[in-house]
Structure 1
Amino acid sequence: MAMPNLDASVPPASDSKKILGVRPNVFYLGLTSFFTDISSEMIFTLVPLFLANVLGVAPSVIGLVGGVSDSTEALVKIYSGRLADRLRRYKALSIAGYGLSTLGKPFMYLAGHWTAVLGIRFADRLGKGLRTSPRDALIAVSIEPKERGRSFGLHKAMDSAGAFLGLFIAATVIYLTQRGSVDLTQDTFRLLVVIGVIPAVISVVILAAMVKDPQRAARVEVEKTGLRDTVNGMSRDFKLFLLVLGIFTLGNSSSFFAILRAQNLGNSVLDVTLMLVVFNITYMLAATPAGVLSDRLGRRTLMMIGWGIYAAAYLGFAAAGASWHIWLLFAVFGVYYGIVEGVAKAFVADLVPPEKRGTAFGLYHGVLGLLLLPASLIAGFLWQEVSPASPFFFGAALAFLAMLGLRVLVKPARPA
């Protein structure tokens, strides 16, 4: 049986039907991510400080918690994307994933040991792994090729706007409860959990009520092949892109360490939270323009620029010696994320045929997540045994190597 052309599955919409310049599905999926990130930033961003300040956990264990949960997410993303390609039920899988994450969040209120935190993060990342690849495939199938950069960029901008608002609320709660205290308290963290569950529920409601699943076709026989055969059938450039992405990711340790670095230089919990607000402002402001620019100049060029900014930021984290350095570095770090996150997903959509996009997004997210475990373990070891600056020197070196690999090895054609 011939595969349907998923690019043509959604009739072109008139501009009057668009919201903020994108198709309704893209907007409402962005709104879902907006409310989800309000919740996640309030509850999970301060987990490294909760582990270190409240539970007294060592940096190596914090790296383990971050790495294991992210790797779990990655494994699920690989197979959720493939399942989405087979069943064409992108929305249903997305709802299941967002719902699972929402159900797990209230249990952070009761967490009293690092293993409990690991279990809750495992459930949250399991949900994220289940939803992310089908959601990204749903965005790709809802738009035309010329809209990819703008659509993925706006989605990431709305995602980051939610993170900004979540962190702003968290900063307000911290200011009202413990002001300039260096360490996070258990009572403050529990209050953040209680408030943070509300937007998580709202996000699931928006997804269920407003997002339309454009594909109602039955599963396609040609997709009943092994994962290895499916990967082998993908383009050389896609596989080389995964290779250089893996090199980069091995030095891209959990963001837990950037947060710990900020506290390591004497910043209070409130300061760290506000730094993350600055990070998300620059992330939000950079994401949509970067996506639009990639539609014109090409994804590879934008990704190389983004990885170069990342390397500069990591060198800055390594060399930082004052609080204001960290404020500036979090702003620069946000620019990197704003450039790369949406553009990389549009790049994946460029490199693979329409019928394999769910699987391709799963593999993309899988490489990111699976290598975060060794990356975080390496960073934890370097922090503990060498110096707090050493994980950042290591990450910067691998970023430069990945930039070179992207420039030399991956030479994609312009998207249709």
Structure 2
Amino acid sequence: MKRLNISALRALSPTLALFMFAMILANIASRMESPMLSLYLRNLGASVEQVGLFFTVGMFAPLLLQVFGGWISDSLGYLRTIAIGSLIGLVGSLWLPFVPSWEWALVAIIAASISGALISPTFRAFIAEHTSEDNRGKVYGMFDSVFGVVNILGPSLGGFLADRLGFRGMLIVAAGLYATATFIRVSMSRLARAAAQEPKGHLNLRQLKANLVQMIGLATAGTLITWILVFDGLQDFSFRLSDQFYPIYLKDLYGYSPTNVGSLYTIMGLTAALFNTLGGWLSDRYGERWGLVGGLGIFAVATLLFLGGGAFPLQALVWGLFGLGQALYSPAFNALISKVAPRHLRGLAFGLLSTTLGLFSLPAPYLGGLMWEVLSPQWPFVINALMLLITLPIIWLTVRPQRIQQEQARAVTLLKEQA
């Protein structure tokens, strides 16, 4: 651990430190908004079913772009792609506080989704490119811990400001933070290109076609990537059934204020920050499947406990378990993808996985809202937990060390063919 920390400090040049600061600002703004968005929509007159429909419709636009986001980052460079994504996200962030109705908020959520489609695979691919295989899980965990400040400050600040300034006032503050981050990102991208620190790549449609053929071949050939699509698709669908309804459940059934809702999300972020590096270490030491199974198993138990009542100590425990589950699952999953995807396809791989999962999970938010209205508010959460439990034996049987080694050999062969 000490050696990892020293190497991380050496890697933090002034340029990288400033870029990380911009990432933190942007994600604090995002985490201020996201736990409060469902409540904001309700405040604008949306029913629970309409909230689910809102998030389902909002998933349409970025689906294809998630594949192209990885390709764009592979082609144009990481800093440039993140700058483009930030400018698109800024449009939505500036629009959201002033929408006249919940339907108009779709413009903002679509812009935010497109921005995330460009930035998310880019950032993860960048980490994979600049870490060794032996330490990759720990490095993913370390970066998640650094950005844990986002999940600690963002929700609490968002809830606090929503109670005192109203939802629109809180969103204006978030937009200011995001605008600052965007200015830094764009400036640094321009400086990096001027200094030739990043290649001035171009979008090559022929190369995209060739890369897509390789990735789709890997995803449909019964390889480990196929099974990753299966189990991650199941967990993604299950989470989207209930994810946007936690704040509404806390407010409508347990009587929580926005400040209290934000506090629970902060507890989750704090726990994840404390255990992310440990989760990465466990992934490197004992294999990725331990982190995957442990993380999703904890999520399933915590989801059922969530329905046990509104007492704050119980909910604090539940959201702490959510954070622990995230700390185990996320570094293991990122390390697994970076191992089995060929290096020249990593950005595309992260994007293709996101798109495939998005297509599979597209109806989930609406179905969750429909379950809430037609059956009972508890149903989306119960189905979520059951689906997570179904994924556990699938992961344990498919994500085996021998299978990972075979996939790595396949990736090396593809890389040689590409060269």
Q: Given the two structures, how large is their TM-score scaled by the length of structure 2? A: 0.84
Quick check: which one's helix share is greater? 2
Structure 1 segment 9-408 matched on structure 2, within 5 A: 18-20=7-9, 30-52=20-42, 54-85=43-74, 87-174=75-162, 177=164, 187-208=165-186, 216=199, 224-225=209-210, 227-233=212-218, 236-253=223-240, 255-263=243-251, 264-320=253-309, 322-408=311-397
Q: Partner residue of 1:6?
A: none
Structure 1: which amino acid aligns with 2:179? V
Distance 2:125 2:58 in 1: 23
Task: Give the letter aligned to residue 203 of structure 1.
Answer: A
Question: Are residues 223 and 370 of structure 1, via their aligned partners in 2, closer, same or farther at CA, if it must alter by over 3 Å?
Answer: closer
SS of structure 1 residue aligned to 2:199:
coil
Amino acid aligned to 1:193 = L
The Cα of 1:28 is off from its aligned counterpart by: 5.7
Shift of 1:67: 2.7
1:47 and 1:200, CA in 2 relative to 1: closer, same or farther beyond 3 A? Answer: same
By how many angstroms is 1:283 displaced? 1.8
**Residues 225-279 of structure 1: per-residue CA shift (max 9 Å, x gap):** 2624432046701121111111222211252111122112221222112111112
Closer, same or farther: CA 408–17 of 1 in aligned 2, 3 Å: closer
Q: Which moved more, 1:348-357 or 1:158-167?
A: 158-167
Percent of residue pairs identical: 22
Mean alpha-carbon deviation: is it higher for 398-407 or for 42-51?
Answer: 42-51
Letter of the 2:362 partner, please give it: L
What is the CA-CA distance between 1:125 and the residue it aligns to? 0.9
2:416 — aligned with what? none
Q: What is the deviation of 1:302?
A: 0.6
- Residue 413, structure 1, aligned to residue 404, structure 2: yes
Shift of residue 316, structure 1, vs aligned partner: 1.4
- In the TM superposition, what is the alpha-carbon distance from 1:292 to its structure 2 partner? 2.3
Give deviations 1:165-188, integer Å, cap 9, x for gaps: 12232243345x2xxxxxxxxx51
Which amino acid counterpart does residue 39 of structure 1 have in structure 2? Answer: A
CA pair 137-189 structure 1, distance change in 2 beyond 3 A: same
Measured after TM superposition, the shift of residue 81 of structure 1 is: 0.9
Amino acid at match of 1:216: P
Deviation at 1:157, TM superposition (A): 2.2
Structure 1 residue 395: Cα displacement:
0.7
What is the aligned-residue RMSD (CA, Å)? 2.8
Where 1:279 maps in the other structure, the secondary structure is helix
1:3 corresponding residue in structure 2: none
User: For 1:206 and 1:154, how far apart are their aligned partners in 2?
Assistant: 23
Counterpart amino acid of 1:325? L
Listed one character per residue, the Cα deviations across residues 146-171 of structure 1 (whole Å, up to 9, x for unaligned) are 23112222222233311321223224
Task: Quote the Cα distance in structure 1 between the aligned partners of 2:281 and 2:183.
Answer: 30
Separation of aligned partners in 2, 1:268 and 1:129: 32
CA distance in 2, matches of 1:190, 1:321: 27
C-alpha distance in 2 between matches for 1:349 and 1:279: 26
In structure 2, how many angstroms separate the alpha carbons of the residues matched to 1:159 and 1:70?
25
Q: Is the 8 A contact 1:84 1:90 kept in 2?
A: yes
Q: Distance in 2 between matches of 1:321 and 1:379?
A: 21
Contact map agreement 1:81 1:359 (CA 8 A) in 2: yes
Q: Structure 2: which amino acid aligns with 1:309?
A: I
Letter in 1 for 2:404: A
Structure 2 CA distance for partners of 1:357 and 1:226, relative to 1, 3 Å: closer
Kept in 1, the 8 Å contact 2:146–2:273? The answer is yes
How many residue pairs get matched?
Answer: 391
Amino acid at match of 2:168: R
Q: Secondary structure of the residue that 1:115 maps to in structure 2? A: coil
Aligned 8 A contact 1:286 1:338 in 2: yes
Alignment check: 8 A CA contact 1:104 1:124 kept? yes
Q: 1:27 and 1:295, CA in 2 relative to 1: closer, same or farther beyond 3 A?
A: farther
Q: Which residue of 1 aligns with 2:412?
A: none
Once the 2 structures are TM-superposed, how far is the Cα of residue 73 of structure 1 from its aligned partner? 3.4
Deviations 1:8-35 (A, max 9, x none): xxxxxx9898444766587666433321
Quote the Cα distance in structure 2 between the aligned partners of 1:135 and 1:354. 14
What SS does structure 2 have at the residue aligned with 1:347? helix
Give me the whole-angstrom Cα distance separating, in 1, the residues matched to 2:188 and 2:95.
Answer: 28
Per-residue deviation, 1:71: 4.7
